[in-house]
A and B are shown apart, each in its own frame.
Chain A
Amino acid sequence: MAAALDATPFNFVAIVLCVSFGAGLLGSLLGLGGGLILIPVLTLALKVDIRYAVGASIVSVIATSSGAAAAYVRDGLANMRVAMFLELATVAGAVTGAMLAGVVGGRALYFLFGAVMAYSALAMLRKLREDGSPREEPPPNALADRLGLHGSYYDVSTGGEVAYRVHRPLAGLGLMYIAGTVSGLLGIGSGALKVPAMDLAMGLPIKVSTATSNFMIGVTAAASAGIYFARGDIDPFIAGPVCVGVTLGAFAGSRYMTKLKSGSLRRLFVAVLLWVSYEMLSKGIHG
């Protein structure tokens, strides 16, 4: 049984719609994906089986990432060559992850989810502390030159074109395989893993990393969503309202509100994330 809630189907759909809207809104305000917030709510509060929660989340991840990517690509922020190159690894990882999800049990999924969530929360905290530190010029890389991965983007705040060079493409490829596997296993976009891989390992500017990560997430998620669909883990009765709710929430967040910059609010949210990840971890350990 996918959902063990005592409600009429209409009430269930209404609740899922509202919860998903909230997750999408919060996700876009914090710059996290909706999945990271959605899956704990679906499983812990609404008692949805984690496999159906993952199946519903992965489709909504495609929706929000495609919606956001449409704007990023138009504005020339996403580096499409870097994206296509790295998608080799994320898609391979996503296939691995989705296949593994059919083998490992629910408890392992809870445990892994808790761990990734704690990591994402701490990564957010770190981003809060160091802000825009100057980086040294990366050493030239023959492969990046040959593939023509370097690029430039128009910076709205300074009003000028910023050129950047890419280095360590192979390290990026390796990290992306891991990010793809996590995404396929847990039904999240795993932007928290993709952005540092580009930002820290490959030396892309943070704005380009975020935009490119969003652009790639859709393809990564599609690979695992295909497998989840064939396995029957995408239940339209849950995934339908989740998909609509998260997309509308994310749209409302990006359109009508500015990103949360306040440090104390973010810290509070990190605390909530850590508490939820503790709940997920203990559900993984005690069953």
Chain B
Amino acid sequence: MTPAPSEPPSLQETAAATTAVPSEVIPLTPELLISQLLRGGVLLSLSLVICGMVMTFFRHPDYFSSPDALQRLTSPDSAPHRLPDVFEGVMAVRGQSFVMAGLLVMITVPVLRVALSLGIFRAQKDRTFAAITTSVLALLLLAFLLGGVE
């Protein structure tokens, strides 16, 4: 026996379904908030990296043929490794700077996650964990500062 084809929902039913959606929105739990931040951050970073890679090859057709270019590209100090350099490169629509900006977004995602957790613990009035989270955040910032000094 073949199942009866289901009738398309009437206009009224569709309207009811769309208006019902906002009330059925899943409440934003801390877990969900953090999950969304992680996913969004990774997606943004990967898009930047892929855009940058495509741009690089568009701007430099010789990269398809010349083996010498590889040595130049991967030699130390060819890549921007200071924040102002990366920013300048992005403004100049340089492919490698876009890749670097994407990688920096990736590095920032976990830091933002810790910052978000700090906000959540404070909202929950959990003073011990707010203190622990602040220390983790401070250690992370110290790491970035130490790297810059070296």
B24 within 8 A of partner (CB): no
Task: Determine chain B's interface SS by DSSP, over half rule.
Answer: helix
Among candidates B71, B77, B96, B144, residue contacting A236 with C-beta atoms closer than 8 Å = B96
Within 8 A of A (CB), among B36-70: 36, 38-39, 41-42, 45-46, 49-50, 52-53, 57, 60, 63-67, 69-70
CB atoms of B81 and A244 under 8 A apart = no
Instruction: Tell me, rounded to whole Å, the shortest Cβ–Cβ distance linking B78 to chain A.
Output: 8
Nearest CB to that of B142 among chain A residues? A95
* Chain A positions within 8 Å of B97 at CB level: 236
A106 within 8 A of partner (CB): no
A127 to B117, CA, bound (A): 33
B147 within 8 A of partner (CB): yes
A243 to B32, CA, bound (A): 25
* Chain B positions within 8 Å of A38 at CB level: none
Q: With A67-B38, A70-B38, A247-B42 known to touch, is A230 a contact of B81 (CB < 8 Å)?
A: yes
* Chain B positions within 8 Å of A129 at CB level: none
* Chain B positions within 8 Å of A285 at CB level: none
Binary flags per residue of B78-104, CB closer than 8 Å to A gives 1, else 0: 111110000000000000110110111
* Chain A positions within 8 Å of B57 at CB level: 10
CB atoms of B69 and A91 under 8 A apart = no
Nearest CB to that of A230 among chain B residues? B147
Among candidates A70, A147, A222, A241, residue contacting B128 with C-beta atoms closer than 8 Å = A147
A1 to B50, CA, bound (A): 24
CB atoms of A73 and B38 under 8 A apart = yes
* Chain B positions within 8 Å of A263 at CB level: none
CB atoms of B140 and A226 under 8 A apart = yes
Nearest CB to that of B34 among chain A residues? A73
Q: With A84-B129, A229-B104, A231-B150 known to touch, is A218 a contact of B110 (CB < 8 Å)?
A: yes
CB atoms of A62 and B106 under 8 A apart = yes
A39 within 8 A of partner (CB): no
CB atoms of B147 and A63 under 8 A apart = no
CB atoms of B73 and A237 under 8 A apart = yes
CB atoms of B79 and A236 under 8 A apart = yes
Total contacts A to B, CB within 8 angstroms?
203
CB atoms of B38 and A80 under 8 A apart = no
- 9 smallest CB-CB distances across A and B, nearest first, come from A230-B147, A227-B147, A236-B99, A2-B74, A218-B110, A9-B63, A240-B99, A232-B81, A222-B110
CB atoms of A67 and B39 under 8 A apart = yes
Instruction: Tell me, rounded to whole Å, the shortest Cβ–Cβ distance linking A201 to chain B.
Output: 19
Within 8 A of A (CB), among B101-150: 102-104, 106-111, 113-114, 117, 128-129, 132-133, 135-136, 139-140, 142-144, 146-148, 150
Q: Using A62-B106, A62-B110, A91-B143 as known contacts, list a sample of 5 further A-B pairs with CB atoms less than 8 Å apart, ordered by residue number in A.
A: A8-B63, A10-B63, A223-B143, A226-B147, A247-B46
* Chain A positions within 8 Å of B79 at CB level: 232, 234-237
Q: Please classify how large the interface on chain B is, using the bins under 10, 10 to 19, 20 to 34, 35 or more.
A: 35 or more
Q: With A84-B117, A231-B147 known to touch, is A241 a contact of B53 (CB < 8 Å)?
A: yes
A19 to B79, CA, bound (A): 22
Q: With A66-B38, A69-B38, A240-B49 known to touch, is A59 a contact of B107 (CB < 8 Å)?
A: yes
A2 to B70, CA, bound (A): 10
Q: With A222-B111, A237-B96 known to touch, is A244 a contact of B129 (CB < 8 Å)?
A: no
A228 within 8 A of partner (CB): yes
Q: With A3-B74, A70-B35 known to touch, is A92 a contact of B41 (CB < 8 Å)?
A: no
| B30, B67, B110, B140 pick with most chain A CB within 10 angstroms | B110
Binary flags per residue of A71-106, CB closer than 8 Å to B gives 1, else 0: 101101000110011011001101100110010000
B76 within 8 A of partner (CB): yes
B31 within 8 A of partner (CB): yes
CB atoms of A91 and B74 under 8 A apart = no
